[in-house]
C-alpha cells in the first residue's frame, strides 16, 4: 500500500488515466484511485466521437494501436431535416476527420497501457476527502477494497499535487466553489443495438417530433438517441416503440431504411451545462467532468477531458523539470477558454436540433438556419471546425 506519491489522481476515467500515462512517461510517480471495480469501469458506455487531437494524444502515450485498427474514421456527418439528408464534409472543409471509438474502449486501452508500463490502478478505492490543498503536501483520504461503515480503515496518500478527475459527483470538486449552470428541458433516450449501422456516417436528425441521432460503435453495433422528456420512465419505452420512433424521426423522402434488431442497453440521460469558475484550488487541480459538463450534442465531453489532461500533464512536467510555476498558474484560464468555446458550440447545436413544446416561431427559425448551414460554405465550415475541434482554442 502506497502512502506517498508525487501526483495523486482521483478517478480512472479518460482524464485521470491519460494524465497518469503522460506523467509516467516523464518519470513522475503517480497513484490512480478509482471508486468502482475494474469490470464496471471497462464496461460503462459513454461518448464515442474522438476529435483529431484526442486521437493524437492517445497515440502519443502508447494507447492508440487498437483505436487505429478498430476505430471508424469519418470525414463527414449528416444533418437530416425536412425529409432530406445534407452531408457536412469535415475533411474537405477543415482537412480533418473524427474517429468513432467508444469511450469505454479508450479507458480499456489506457488501463492496459498503464499495466504494460508496470503501473497499476487501485480499484474499489473510495476517496472520502482531500485535505491540505493549500499546503505543499495535500492528502487524499480513502478506503480500500470496498470497505464501508464507520469501522472501515481510512488510508492516507500524501502527494505534491492532487488531480481531481472523479466527475461531477466526486469528492474533489470543492462544494463552495462558484459555478455556472444551465438545465435543458429535454433528455436523450439512448440505446445500443446489436445491428450493423444503417449509415456510413453519423446522422443528426431534426424532426417535428423531436431530435434523433444515428451513431455506431463498430461494424456490428449501432448507437441511437431519441429526444425525450427529462422525467421519462424507461418502462414506457419498450423496444418496439423505440424502433418505431426512430423510423419516423430518421425517415427521408427517398425511402432510406433503418436496420433494426436486438436492443442490448437502454438508458435516459438528462442534458445540462456546468462550468466551475476555476479548475485550480491550491495544489488540487480539476479535469474533465469534475470541472465542466456539456450537452452531448456537440460530442465535446470526452475530448475536453483529454484536452484538460494534456494541459495539466504538460504543466506538471514543467514544474517537476525546472520548478516553472507559469503553466500551472495559467492552467485554469487556458482550459476554460476551450471549455467555454465548447459550451457555446454544444448549446448552439442543441438549440439547433431539439424541439421545444409550443415554440413554433423557434421551430421555423431552426429550419431556416439548418437550410442556411447546408447551402453556405462559410456556415458549414463554422460547424465543421467546431465539431473537429479546429477552432484555435
Kindly list the catalytic residues.
74, 204, 296, 300, 387
Residue 350 CB partners (closer than 8 Å, separation 6+): 184, 271, 295, 297, 298
State residue 229 phi and psi, 5-degree precision: -75, 150
**Which one, of 195, 199, 304, lies nearest residue 239 by Cα?**
195
**Which one, of 215, 234, 188, lies nearest residue 98 by Cα?**
215
**Which one, of 117, 101, 86, 88, lies nearest residue 45 by Cα?**
101
Which residues are registered as beta bridge partners of 284?
162, 281
**Which one, of 269, 183, 287, lies nearest residue 231 by Cα?**
269
Cell of 176: 463552495
Helix, strand and coil content of the chain, in percent to the nearest 5, comes to: 40, 25, 35
| E strands in the chain | 7-10, 30-33, 49-50, 72-74, 77-81, 84-88, 98-100, 126-131, 139-143, 155-158, 161-164, 179-193, 203-205, 212-218, 221-228, 263-276, 280-281, 284-286, 292-293
Amino acid at each position: 500500500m502506497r502512502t506517498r506519491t508525487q501526483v495523486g489522481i482521483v478517478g480512472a476515467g479518460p482524464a485521470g488515466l491519460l494524465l497518469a500515462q503522460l506523467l509516467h512517461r516523464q518519470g513522475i510517480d503517480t497513484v490512480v484511485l478509482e471508486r468502482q471495480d475494474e469490470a464496471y469501469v471497462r464496461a460503462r458506455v459513454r461518448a464515442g466521437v474522438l476529435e483529431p487531437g484526442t486521437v493524437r494524444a492517445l497515440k502519443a502515450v502508447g494507447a492508440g494501436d487498437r483505436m487505429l485498427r478498430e476505430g471508424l474514421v469519418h470525414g463527414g456527418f449528416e444533418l437530416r431535416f425536412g425529409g432530406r439528408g445534407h452531408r457536412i464534409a469535415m475533411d474537405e472543409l477543415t482537412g480533418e476527420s473524427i474517429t468513432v471509438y467508444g469511450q469505454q474502449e479508450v479507458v480499456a486501452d489506457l488501463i492496459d497501457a498503464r499495466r504494460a508500463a508496470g503501473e497499476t490502478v487501485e480499484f474499489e478505492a473510495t476517496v472520502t476527502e482531500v485535505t491540505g490543498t493549500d499546503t505543499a503536501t495535500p492528502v487524499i483520504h480513502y478506503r480500500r477494497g470496498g470497505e464501508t461503515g464507520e469501522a472501515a480503515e481510512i488510508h492516507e496518500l500524501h502527494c505534491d499535487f492532487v488531480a481531481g478527475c472523479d466527475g461531477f459527483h466526486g469528492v474533489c470538486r470543492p462544494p463552495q466553489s462558484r459555478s455556472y449552470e444551465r438545465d435543458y428541458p429535454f433528455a436523450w433516450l439512448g440505446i445500443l443495438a446489436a445491428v450493423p449501422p444503417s449509415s456510413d456516417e453519423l446522422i443528426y436528425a431534426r424532426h417535428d417530433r423531436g431530435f434523433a441521432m444515428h451513431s455506431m460503435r463498430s461494424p456490428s453495433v449501432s448507437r441511437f438517441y431519441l429526444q425525450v422528456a427529462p422525467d421519462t420512465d424507461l418502462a414506457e419505452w419498450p423496444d418496439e416503440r423505440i424502433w418505431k420512433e426512430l423510423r419516423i424521426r430518421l425517415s427521408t423522402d427517398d425511402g432510406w431504411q433503418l436496420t433494426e434488431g436486438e436492443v442490448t442497453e437502454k438508458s435516459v440521460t438528462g442534458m445540462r451545462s456546468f462550468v466551475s469558475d476555476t479548475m485550480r484550488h491550491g495544489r488540487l487541480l480539476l479535469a474533465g467532468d469534475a470541472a465542466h459538463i456539456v450537452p452531448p450534442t456537440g460530442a465535446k465531453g470526452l475530448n475536453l477531458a483529454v484536452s484538460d489532461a494534456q494541459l495539466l500533464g504538460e504543466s506538471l512536467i514543467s514544474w517537476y523539470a525546472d520548478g516553472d510555476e507559469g503553466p500551472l498558474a495559467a492552467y485554469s484560464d487556458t482550459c476554460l477558454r476551450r471549455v467555454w468555446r465548447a459550451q457555446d458550440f454544444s448549446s448552439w447545436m442543441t438549440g439547433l436540433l431539439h424541439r421545444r413544446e409550443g415554440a413554433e416561431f423557434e421551430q421555423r427559425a431552426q429550419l431556416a438556419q439548418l437550410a442556411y448551414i447546408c447551402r453556405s460554405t462559410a456556415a458549414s465550415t463554422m460547424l465543421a471546425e467546431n465539431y473537429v475541434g479546429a477552432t484555435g482554442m
